[in-house]
Amino acid sequence: MFEELLPLVPDEEKLPYNFLVERTEGYSGSDIRLVCKEAAMQPLRRLMTLLEEKQEVVPEEELPTVGPIKHEDIATALKNTRPSAHLHAHRYEQFNSDYGSQILL
């Protein structure tokens, strides 16, 4: 999911996929999608902050481009996005106990 939702930018440092996998244990697919969206928004937020600091109209041809996603963007996204799957764990355990296969040793 990370490779699909956080595309690698040519000539940029590879994103820390192993770090992402370790840090998102217990996250649902929806949670991971949210982390990726949050990380992808960070370069745009940096650009908006830069433009707001100028306090003047910047001609379209002089507008800076949105940069790539950086490691710190991912760290910020992880800090701001918490896993939600654990909130329903009791329901999944009950479902498994009611309907799951029971392997006896």
Q: Which domains, from first to last, does the chain contain?
A: 2-84 (1.10.8.60)
Summarised one tens digit per residue, pLDDT across range 37-65 is 999 999 999 988 888 887 788 788 888 88
Three-state DSSP string of 16-81:
CHHHHHHHCCCCCHHHHHHHHHHHHHHHHHHHHHHHHHHCCCCCHHHCCCCCCCCHHHHHHHHHHC
Q: Give the mean pLDDT of 16-42.
A: 89
Residue 105 has pLDDT above 60, yes or no: no
